Amino acid sequence: MTPFGTRLARAVDQRGRFCVGIDPHAALLQEWGLSDDVASLERFALTVVEAVAPVVSVVKPQSAFYERFGSRGVAVLERVVAESRDAGALVLLDVKRGDIGSTSQAYADAYLDPSSPLAADAITASPFLGFGSLDPMVEACHEHGAGLFVLALTSNKEGPEVQRARAEHGTVAGTVLAHLRALNAGADPVGSFGAVVGATIADHDEDLDINGPFLVPGYGAQGGTTDDLARVFGAAARWALPSSSREVLRAGPDVTALRDAALRGNDAVRSLGA
């Protein structure tokens, strides 16, 4: 199986680095003239897939917005994953999972094993039960050519309390980045083990040279700009994937307007780290 990092590098070369979040917020359903029910969830999500999955390299459905409708919402998420992949986009499922190792194995089976109905190309994971608790997910990535994006410096203002706390050898975030660097050592052109680093974070002293990709939320609706991408990532911007949900989704429900918003987003970050 081709490693996720190789597949990502190919997709970014072909389509650009911009990631579109498929987050059916209740407020957005309303803005689109839809009801807050599962039929509207499906209409919203599949309209976004139709508009953006044929043109962007990565889509990022946020699982919570589907889970809130129970099993029927999760069934919509399964279609979002499958139809996005059919349209040529990589699917980074934002589930932020993490637990003791034996339960992490079940998460790996659910999201990273291609035989699962919810299998994605990559998922987000939380390292705060200890990085080693993610080992089953790491193993599944090696086995199935999948990717993992681990929370390091998140875009929300509450993150620094935990992530910038001092650990044995630097900050908590620095420890996460060091684990990712080790996992990606020797990978070419880039490793499959990424970090989540927000566009909105304050200046930092972390070494972002991890030979892996960065999922960069906080770009757009949360206030992150292209200037922030250069400020936060510097030379590491080569593998930064700026991700935007609400700012793009507000262009809907017109499919052409949505696609244009995604293409504009892509153009805005095209030269980053080149």
Ligand X SMILES: O=c1ccn([C@@H]2O[C@H](COP(=O)(O)O)[C@@H](O)[C@H]2O)c(=O)[nH]1
What are the residue numbers of the active site?
96
228 near ligand X, rule: CB under 6 A: no
Chain centroid to Cα 148, Å, comes to 9
98 near ligand X, rule: CB under 6 A: no
Cβ distance to ligand X smaller for residue 19 or 145: 19
154 near ligand X, rule: CB under 6 A: yes
Cβ distance to ligand X smaller for residue 133 or 155: 155
From 48-56, 166-174, 226-234, 244-252, span contacting ligand X (CB under 6 A): 244-252
DSSP the chain: ---HHHHHHHHHHHH-S-EEEE---HHHHHHTT--SSHHHHHHHHHHHHHHHTTT-SEEEEBTHHHHTTHHHHHHHHHHHHHHHHHTT-EEEEEEEE--SHHHHHHHHHHHTSTTSTT--SEEEE--TT-GGGGHHHHHHHHHHT-EEEEEEE-SSTTTHHHHTSEETTEEHHHHHHHHHHHHHTT-SS--SEEEEE-TTPPP-------SS-EEETTBSTTSB-HHHHHHHHGGGGGGEEEEESHHHHTT-SSHHHHHHHHHHHHHHTTTTT-
- Residue number closest to ligand X, CB atom: 154
From 74-82, 139-147, 151-159, 225-233, span contacting ligand X (CB under 6 A): 151-159
Give the C-alpha separation, 63 to 65, whole Å: 6
Of positions 18, 23, 53, 90, contacts ligand X by CB under 6 A: 23
From 71-79, 101-109, 212-220, 264-272, span contacting ligand X (CB under 6 A): 212-220
105 near ligand X, rule: CB under 6 A: no
Of positions 103, 222, 225, 226, contacts ligand X by CB under 6 A: 222
245 near ligand X, rule: CB under 6 A: yes
Two tokens at 167? Answer: 């650990």
Of positions 5, 21, 73, 145, contacts ligand X by CB under 6 A: 21
196 near ligand X, rule: CB under 6 A: yes
Of positions 26, 221, 255, 257, contacts ligand X by CB under 6 A: 221
Cβ distance to ligand X smaller for residue 85 or 246: 246
Q: Taking a C-beta distance cutoff of 8 angstroms, is the pair 258, 248 a contact?
A: yes
From 41-49, 130-138, 148-156, 185-193, span contacting ligand X (CB under 6 A): 148-156
* Residue type present at position 182: A
42 near ligand X, rule: CB under 6 A: no
The contact set with ligand X (CB under 6 A) reads: 21, 23, 62, 94, 154-156, 196, 198, 217-218, 220-222, 244-246
